[in-house]
Amino acid sequence: MWPLAKNELYRLFLSPLAWVILALSQVILAYLFLTHIDYFIQIQAKISAIPGAPGVTELVATPLLNNAATILLLLTPLITMRLIAEERRNENLPLLLSAPLSMIQIVLGKFLGTLGFFIIFLLLLSLMPLSLAVGSHLDFGLLAAAFLGLTLLVASFTAIGLFLSSLTKQPSIAAIISFASLFLLWIIDWASQSTGIFSWLSLLNHYQPLLQGEVHTRDIAYYLIVIAVFLILTVRHLDSERLN
Amino acid sequence: MSDSPLLNVSSLSRIFGTQHAVSDVSFSINKGEVLGFLGPNGAGKSTTMKMISGNLAPSSGEITINGYDLLTQAKQAKAHIGYLPEQPPLYKELTVKEFLSFCAQINQIPSAKRNKAINIAIERCGLKNVARRLIGHLSKGFQQRVGIAQAIIHSPAVVILDEPTSGLDPIQIKEIRHLIREIASEHSVILSTHILPEVQTLCDRVQIINNGKLVFSDTLSGLSQHMQASSLLVTLNAPPTRVQLYTLEGVTSIESLSPTQFKLHYHPEHNPTELLLEQAVSRQWQLMELTPIQHSLEDTFMNIIQQENISMEHA
């Protein structure tokens, strides 16, 4: 499982895709970071008098991580599309299937390798708000909760993308379906206001409390369930492919 | 180790929809044997290979590798097989060494032995000079060697090679065959091919599969007996009349190829060669040439396949 994860991550960085994605998303996020700081400086004088006013973490880090979630929604399908679809197209799957590995190990290896890439992404991202610690006081608890939320969110994206990549032979099809599915899960609560099953299903709905620093078991459980369900579906699908 | 076969396949079947890709195939392979799997394209060779390498689940039947059942003890069983599919599975963005190192890891070679295993595989497959090059930049012959290296890196008991020489140039084919022969000295090999001379040069035992069924299974010498023909090519400078030739016991028909050259067909149980020699000397027919005509492997192969097709139509 670990060699597979390592291999997946290593091969990702051999292609220009990973570098381009990391570089461009850093540029965009840095620009957004700058605008948030700009805004904060503008209103700082006005709100400093108000007791209990939002601080720099709420006004800079929180919106930045909210933007990052949207960007990750756009990026994840580009990374996950190749996971199984490309292996299938290059007819590389027999290498893994005839090795003494269980299907669970293969799927988990691919999942963890890809998650590794996004953790690098998040580490680079975290440097931006952390740099504010030089000249200001940060709410590290809030920051940690938001990053936990973002990690869980991107892990769910990856699991969904991995499953959809296992359904097809064409990476681009996998990317399009993944993007559509993620987007749908993102906006699914727009139709029915507030409560109900749709609102519970929304990936975004469970991210917002974490972004505000509220760590609820129900939100963490939601993400863990999404990850587990899609990983199991991937294993089942690949297994059934051997049978049919 | 007992004498039990390394790989045992019993009544293996695979159905795709309504089509029987492989039906009721049974065979086994012993230690150090090279088994040739022959058949026309689409006969079910690759499907069988996929099943015994664990890439495809059989519809029914049993596969045991080194005593482990491939279906219930998949991990242990898979540790004893090396598989090279028709299209070698390679990560072209890796170097040869990186790729083999990954293969060693997923085949669970302990890290202490890993380097040695990689070096042995590189050495045996003649990859020393290209070990640091990207696989994608290598020629097809070398890529095929990397594929073979990948299949033998964990020194499996059985190596399964699916058409290892397809798409290579004649020199590369020769080299790959040489490599397969070397591998056969340490591993049991199952080789699928539709190239007949390959079987003659490499295999101890031959199986022919057609329409998903095993139609022939014998040793290579058994096959060459099958190939023994029942005709002679004779050149006589002073030939007798055809009637005189017909009097030789066993001769069933005569073809005149030229005024002096004949093709004698005879009954397989009455070889007239000796009689013909005696007569030729005593009657001064001036024998110039006497060649038993051997069926080529192609003919035998076609015969077996055609017989099978005919009997299927009658059934």
Of B93, B136, B97, give the one whose Cα is nearest residue A14. Answer: B93
Assess A16–B contact: CB distance below 8 Å, yes or no. Answer: no
Is the four-CA dihedral A68, A70, A76, A78 of positive or negative sign? negative
pLDDT above 60 for B2? no
Q: Look at A98 and B106 and tell me if their CB atoms are within 8 Å.
A: no
Q: Look over chain A and give the mean of its residue pLDDT values, rounded to a whole number.
A: 88
Assess A192–B contact: CB distance below 8 Å, yes or no. Answer: no
Please name every residue paired with B25 in a beta bridge, in sequence order, or none if there are none: B12
Please name every residue paired with B62 in a beta bridge, in sequence order, or none if there are none: B10
Q: If phi over 0 gives left and psi between -120 and 50 gives alpha, with beta otherwise, what is residue B66?
A: left
Please name every residue paired with B290 in a beta bridge, in sequence order, or none if there are none: B234
Name the minimum distance, in Å, from the CA of B55 to any CA of chain A. Answer: 6
Averaged over B265-272, what is the pLDDT? Answer: 74
The better pLDDT of the pair B74, B2 is held by B74
CA distance A12 to B42: 37
Mutate to test the interface with B, among A93, A95, A241 (most CBs of B within 10 A): A95
pLDDT above 60 for B3? no
Assess A14–B contact: CB distance below 8 Å, yes or no. Answer: yes
Q: If phi over 0 gives left and psi between -120 and 50 gives alpha, with beta otherwise, what is residue B46?
A: alpha
Q: What is the 3-state secondary structure (H, E, C) of A57-120?
A: HHHHHHHHHHHHHHHHHHHHHHHHCHHHHHHHHCCCHHHHHCCCCCHHHHHHHHHHHHHHHHHH
Select from B57, B92, B107 the Cβ nearest to the Cβ of A99.
B107
Averaged over B39-51, what is the pLDDT? Answer: 83
Please determine, looking at this structure, whether the domain spanning B229-292 carries the CATH number 3.30.70.100. yes
pLDDT above 90 for B232? no
Q: Which residues of A touch B92 (CB under 8 A)?
A: 90
Strands B231-236 and B188-193: unpaired
Helix (H) or strand (E) holding A18: helix A16-47
Assess A172–B contact: CB distance below 8 Å, yes or no. Answer: no
Is the four-CA dihedral A11, A14, A15, A18 of positive or negative sign? positive
Select from A92, A98, A102 the Cβ nearest to the Cβ of B81.
A98
The chain B residue lying nearest A15, using CA atoms, is: B93
Name the minimum distance, in Å, from the CA of A110 to any CA of chain B. Answer: 13
First to last CA, chain A: 25
B239-243 long-range contacts (CB < 8 A, ≥24 apart) are B239/B285, B240/B283, B240/B285
Q: Which residues of A touch B54 (CB under 8 A)?
A: 97-98
- Residue A155 has what pLDDT? 94
Of the given ranges (A10-14, A229-233, B170-174), which has the lowest mean pLDDT? B170-174
Averaged over A93-111, what is the pLDDT? Answer: 89
Of the given ranges (A27-31, B113-117, B262-266), which has the lowest mean pLDDT? B262-266
- Residue B295 has what pLDDT? 66
Q: Which residues of B touch A7 (CB under 8 A)?
A: 91, 102, 105
Tell me how far the alpha carbon of residue A88 is from its chain's centroid.
Answer: 24
Six token digits for residue B284: 């001064």
Select from A14, A99, A243 the Cβ nearest to the Cβ of B106.
A99
Please name every residue paired with B209 in a beta bridge, in sequence order, or none if there are none: B214
CA distance B107 to A7: 14
Assess A243–B contact: CB distance below 8 Å, yes or no. Answer: yes
Band the pLDDT of A186: cuts 50, 70, 90. confident
Name the minimum distance, in Å, from the CA of A23 to any CA of chain B. Answer: 21
- Residue B296 has what pLDDT? 66
The chain A residue lying nearest B160, using CA atoms, is: A98
pLDDT digits (tens, 9 = 90+) for B98-145: 999 999 998 888 888 888 989 988 988 888 888 899 999 988 888 988
Of A105, A88, A94, give the one whose Cα is nearest residue B75. Answer: A105
Is the distance from CB of B152 to CB of B102 less than 8 angstroms?
no
- Residue B227 has what pLDDT? 63
Band the pLDDT of A140: cuts 50, 70, 90. confident
Band the pLDDT of A30: cuts 50, 70, 90. very high
The better pLDDT of the pair A235, B313 is held by A235
Band the pLDDT of A115: cuts 50, 70, 90. very high
pLDDT digits (tens, 9 = 90+) for A204-223: 888 888 888 888 888 899 99
Band the pLDDT of B1: cuts 50, 70, 90. very low
- Residue A90 has what pLDDT? 85
pLDDT above 60 for B225? yes
What's the Cα-to-Cα distance from B264 to each of A239, B26, B231, B245, rounded to whole Å?
Answer: 60, 40, 5, 9
Is the distance from CB of A99 to CB of A3 less than 8 angstroms?
no
Q: Which residues of A touch B56 (CB under 8 A)?
A: 242
Is the four-CA dihedral A156, A158, A159, A164 of positive or negative sign? positive
Q: Look at B89 and A95 and tell me if their CB atoms are within 8 Å.
A: yes
User: For residue A171, how many C-alpha atoms fall within 13 Å in the half-sphere facing its CB?
Assistant: 14
Give the domain ranges of chain A.
Answer: 2-243
Of the given ranges (B10-19, B84-93, B151-160), which has the lowest mean pLDDT? B10-19
Q: Look at A95 and B103 and tell me if their CB atoms are within 8 Å.
A: yes
The chain B residue lying nearest A97, using CA atoms, is: B55
Strands B251-256 and B261-266: antiparallel
Tell me how far the alpha carbon of residue B197 is from its chain's centroid.
Answer: 9
Q: Look at A242 and B55 and tell me if their CB atoms are within 8 Å.
A: yes
CA distance A242 to A239: 5
Is the distance from CB of B70 to CB of B78 less than 8 angstroms?
yes
Length of chain A counted residue by residue: 244
Mutate to test the interface with A, among B91, B92, B143 (most CBs of A within 10 A): B91
In the sheet that holds B287-292, the strands lie side by side as B251-256, B261-266, B231-236, B287-292
Assess A101–B contact: CB distance below 8 Å, yes or no. Answer: yes
Give the domain ranges of chain B.
Answer: 229-292
Q: Look at B55 and A93 and tell me if their CB atoms are within 8 Å.
A: yes
A/B interface, count of CB pairs below 8 Å: 66
CA distance A160 to A178: 7
Q: Look at B103 and A99 and tell me if their CB atoms are within 8 Å.
A: yes
First to last CA, chain B: 44
Of B218, B254, B220, give the one whose Cα is nearest residue B236. Answer: B254
The better pLDDT of the pair B1, B276 is held by B276
The better pLDDT of the pair A244, B77 is held by B77
One-letter amino acid identity for B225?
Answer: Q
Q: Look at B75 and A96 and tell me if their CB atoms are within 8 Å.
A: no
Q: Look at A94 and B50 and tell me if their CB atoms are within 8 Å.
A: yes
The better pLDDT of the pair A45, B207 is held by B207
Q: Look at B94 and A102 and tell me if their CB atoms are within 8 Å.
A: no
Of the given ranges (A115-129, B57-71, B76-90, B288-302), which has the lowest mean pLDDT? B288-302
Six token digits for residue A194: 């507030």
Please report the ipTM that was assigned to this predicted complex.
Answer: 0.83
Does this model's pTM top 0.80? My answer is yes
The chain A residue lying nearest B81, using CA atoms, is: A98
Select from A7, A97, A101 the Cβ nearest to the Cβ of B102.
A7
| Residue entry with tokens 């890529």 | B143
Band the pLDDT of B226: cuts 50, 70, 90. low
CA distance B274 to B16: 55
Q: Which residues of A touch B135 (CB under 8 A)?
A: none
